[in-house]
Structure 1
Amino acid sequence: MDRPSLAGLWDLLWPGAGPSRADLAVGAEDRAPLPYPSGWFCLALSREVPAGAVVNRRFMGRDVVLYRTRGGVLRVVDAHCPHLGAHLGAGGAVDGEHLVCPFHRFAFDVEGSCVRAPGGAPPRAALGQYPVRERGRVVYVWHGHDAVPPSWEPSELPDDRFAPAATWSTVLTSHPQEVMESFVDYEHQAVVHNVALREVKPPLEDGPLLRIAFGAAIRLSVGLGTIRVEQGLALSGLGLASGEVTLHQIGMTLGVVVTATPVGPWRTQLRVVIMTDAASRPDSPLLRKAAAMSLSAVAGQALMRTVVHHMVQDARIWNRKRYLPDPALTSEEGAIGQYRGWVGQFYPLEAPADRT
């Protein structure tokens, strides 16, 4: 029997729901793209970069390398060695607290400086580094225009009680601004997702953070029926939406993280992470804790399937829509207008709107 293709596997898991490979390539060249924004962007989950690991990622049209020293120090650096340009993610290795180039075995410390070269004194060379943070066991890297260092921090929610329980990722032919706009586009929830969403309070601007709160009745996909949820969400720039969602009927709070990382012009890596906190309750008796963990895992997986189903529905539109800098908004879409004004802070003032 023939082995199923990836597209066929997607259809088996999500019949009629998934974007095809052709969908992801449609229209990118004829839409007015936005510039790359500044801010914090997800490159990996912490567990994807254990001690001694060297991991490749694509970020804003270039290769970068994540690595963690044996002592646990995490770094994100330019992918190419400043000696003769070898790719550090293609055979490079961690040696104690150093990253070692595969070509001539030049070694670089955690500050990026070359500290060892075979057969002589190391040259005065350094790796370009990116500021990095780990929040909720997710790795974020900073991009600032003109190499400006971080001027703000991503939201602390969900806090350190939570850990990733379920994850999902795909690549969109879209831009982070378009993805994050969906969180304030309340009207599309009923049309696209058949969800009656209620705004609890208007979006609150807090510098580079935009805080929103809403309630809804959603149907989880594991037979739990329709449940009421309340969610507080913080948009940390255009790369991260994070917060906590309360499932009222089952008395549980889960963490939700949605990230949008530009990998190239009009190409965005979308990640969804559902987090649970049952394992971090030290006051729970053993059996009660085990039951809570089991229920938490079931609820987390159910919420993930629901969120992913909605994201796939949105992806059909994101992958083909055209960005309009001056949309014709209705009187009910004030939150979108507010969002469009808020996002301007993440772009260089002199950057034209049609260039990445």
Structure 2
Amino acid sequence: MAKLLWVTILSCIILGAITVTQVHGEILESLPFLGQFLNAEGSLGFLEILRSAIANFLTGARWMWLGVLTLLSLVYTAWLVVRKILSILFSPLNLHRALGDLGYTEIEGVKSQKDVANIVRRRRKIGDVPPVYPNGWFSLIASRDVPKGQARSVSVLGQHFAVFRGEDGKAYILDAYCPHMGANIGIGGRVIDNCLQCPFHGWTFRGEDGKCVNIPYAKKIPDIAKTKQWPCFEANGQIMVWHHAEGIDPTWMPEVMPEIDTGDWTFKGKTVHIINAHIEEIPENGADLAHLHHLHKPFIAAGVDLRYIYNPIYAMFSHKWVAQWEPLPAPDQHIGELNLVHSIEVWGYTIPFTTLSVTVHQVGPGLVNLKFKSVFGSGVFIQTLTPEEPMLQRLTHEIYYDWWMPAFLPKLMLRGEAMQVDRDVMIWNNKTYVSKPMLVKEDQLIAKHRRWYSQFFSENSPRLSFQKENNSEW
């Protein structure tokens, strides 16, 4: 809107200047005739002075308009430059990669990347995949996206949730569909105190237990009038839900980053990737150390299209990875720990200041905290992985960094992380799941990770319905 306003003002000024200049020219041209006419009446001295004054005024006004126009143009250009610089330095990054944005190669005769993605989804061999919705805590939505007194509808994990923030500032999660007539209370529902009112008939449900506390037109509220309330936990800038196929209460809790709560680390940016794969494929990368030394070794400036990342122009640069993954013992058996050191090399020599030490905690099936330290400060990548559909995952990375650091450096790190993920996406979007992979001795951590991950499946964990998934489009 600001740009449009300025363009409109400048356009009016330009048109006004042109009009005034033309009118002034016509007046100046008529002045000699006016002088001749009035000279016949014997007023030559006065008219000469008047004509000269008018001519000087109009000429000065013309230059004044041009000066004003030039000044405004310079001010507007400077304002755009300053705003861009401030945005680069201080504004958080917000990058969203939809399913068709990357990770697919061309198909002859198909122009739309969305059509390419759907064709690959239909034709790809999926494989004998594990259950599609594991048990554990999953991020539904960022805390900042649910202000006090507002509700949101979120559909993931084969469920539909209404997420709202009560007047007490707490987040609550209820079933999205009203048990009365099926309206989605997360869309158009009103937050009243710590309850959510259905937009259809006004039934009001309490956030803490889902019980109906008001039916505007009923004299009595039936005891059975309630909706499902889901276990909710809010930390690290995320509103999370506990999902378990057997309906049991939480058996473990997510890690909390105290530096985020105290404000020592502040939000610097977010990236989102929509991925066509089984959920287990993505965290399994943490134990697949061999892929780090192959897929992620070429310098990121070579791009994300795997057909071209071995560009000889960038061959002198490479990424070096030293990593080790292990599951933690009880009572933290739901956590897998990856210790990682990353650096950039040129002709085999480490570039100073590029070394980054990262401690990664895979917390359950869908939460990962990557705490890092470098010479430029410390922070954390908050990674969340949530199934939007059986074979469609939402992968997010949010970076929190030392409060005193301008956003430029964290944004640069986040973009670098996103480019490395882009390379993985091209693998994930096109691969099949191999339930019994042909592993060598050096791949033993992959088998170890699969045994660890299996704890998040149970007897009633939902499995893929091939017919439904095979015909799905987005």
TM-score bucket (shorter structure): 0.7 to 0.9
- Superposition deviation, residue 11 in structure 1: 12
Partner amino acid, structure 2, of 1:268: Q
- Superposition deviation, residue 136 in structure 1: 1.2
For residues 381 and 96 of structure 2, the distance between their equivalents in structure 1, rounded to whole angstroms, comes to: 26
For residues 218 and 24 of structure 1, the distance between their equivalents in structure 2, rounded to whole angstroms, comes to: 33
CA contact 1:34–1:355 (8 Å) conserved in 2: no
CA contact 2:151–2:190 (8 Å) conserved in 1: yes
* Residue 300 of structure 1 pairs with residue 398 of structure 2: no
Q: For 2:240, what is the secondary structure of its paired residue?
A: strand
* Residue 175 of structure 1 pairs with residue 278 of structure 2: yes
The equivalent of 1:288 in structure 2 is none
The equivalent of 1:321 in structure 2 is 431
| Residue deviations 1:134-158 (CA, integer Å, cap 9, x gap) | 1111111110112111000112347
Q: Which structure would you say has the larger Rg?
A: 2
The alpha-carbon distance between structure 1 residues 331 and 355, as it changes in their structure 2 partners (threshold 3 A), is farther
1:100 to 180, 183, 197: 197
User: Percent of aligned pairs with the same residue?
Assistant: 28
| Residue deviations 1:232-273 (CA, integer Å, cap 9, x gap) | 01111110111311123x2x1111111110111111111111
The equivalent of 1:135 in structure 2 is 235
The equivalent of 2:221 in structure 1 is 122
2:365 to 224, 232, 238: 238
For residues 41 and 81 of structure 1, the distance between their equivalents in structure 2, rounded to whole angstroms, comes to: 23
* Residue 166 of structure 1 pairs with residue 276 of structure 2: no
Bigger share in strand: 1
CA contact 1:64–1:78 (8 Å) conserved in 2: yes
The alpha-carbon distance between structure 1 residues 254 and 317, as it changes in their structure 2 partners (threshold 3 A), is same
The equivalent of 1:209 in structure 2 is 335
For residues 153 and 11 of structure 1, the distance between their equivalents in structure 2, rounded to whole angstroms, comes to: 28
| Residue deviations 1:158-180 (CA, integer Å, cap 9, x gap) | 74343432111122111221111
| Residue deviations 1:34-90 (CA, integer Å, cap 9, x gap) | 311001111111100110111111111232111011221211111101111111122
Partner amino acid, structure 1, of 2:273: T
For residues 203 and 273 of structure 2, the distance between their equivalents in structure 1, rounded to whole angstroms, comes to: 35
The equivalent of 1:284 in structure 2 is none
For residues 246 and 322 of structure 1, the distance between their equivalents in structure 2, rounded to whole angstroms, comes to: 36
TM-score, scaled relative to structure 2: 0.63
- Superposition deviation, residue 128 in structure 1: 0.8
Partner amino acid, structure 2, of 1:169: V
For residues 303 and 344 of structure 1, the distance between their equivalents in structure 2, rounded to whole angstroms, comes to: 32
The equivalent of 2:322 in structure 1 is 198
TM-score, scaled relative to structure 1: 0.83
* Residue 310 of structure 1 pairs with residue 406 of structure 2: no
The equivalent of 2:255 in structure 1 is 155
CA contact 1:112–1:129 (8 Å) conserved in 2: yes
CA contact 2:151–2:187 (8 Å) conserved in 1: no
Q: Which protein, 1 or 2, shows the higher relative CO under an 8 Å CA cutoff with sep ≥ 6?
A: 1
CA contact 2:152–2:164 (8 Å) conserved in 1: yes
- Superposition deviation, residue 30 in structure 1: 3.7
Bigger share in helix: 2
Give the paired residue count.
Answer: 323
2:148 to 41, 51, 58: 51
The root-mean-square deviation of aligned C-alpha atoms, in Å, is 2.6
For residues 336 and 157 of structure 1, the distance between their equivalents in structure 2, rounded to whole angstroms, comes to: 28
Give ranges in structure 2 of 5+ residues lacking alignment.
Answer: 1-94, 105-112, 298-318, 346-350, 467-474
For residues 352 and 106 of structure 1, the distance between their equivalents in structure 2, rounded to whole angstroms, comes to: 31
Q: For 1:207, what is the secondary structure of its paired residue?
A: coil
The alpha-carbon distance between structure 1 residues 24 and 55, as it changes in their structure 2 partners (threshold 3 A), is farther
The alpha-carbon distance between structure 1 residues 353 and 138, as it changes in their structure 2 partners (threshold 3 A), is closer
For residues 156 and 130 of structure 1, the distance between their equivalents in structure 2, rounded to whole angstroms, comes to: 20
For residues 158 and 335 of structure 1, the distance between their equivalents in structure 2, rounded to whole angstroms, comes to: 31
The alpha-carbon distance between structure 1 residues 321 and 47, as it changes in their structure 2 partners (threshold 3 A), is same
The equivalent of 1:21 in structure 2 is 114
The equivalent of 1:113 in structure 2 is 211
The equivalent of 1:60 in structure 2 is 157
The equivalent of 1:33 in structure 2 is 129
For residues 328 and 96 of structure 2, the distance between their equivalents in structure 1, rounded to whole angstroms, comes to: 39
CA contact 1:23–1:319 (8 Å) conserved in 2: no
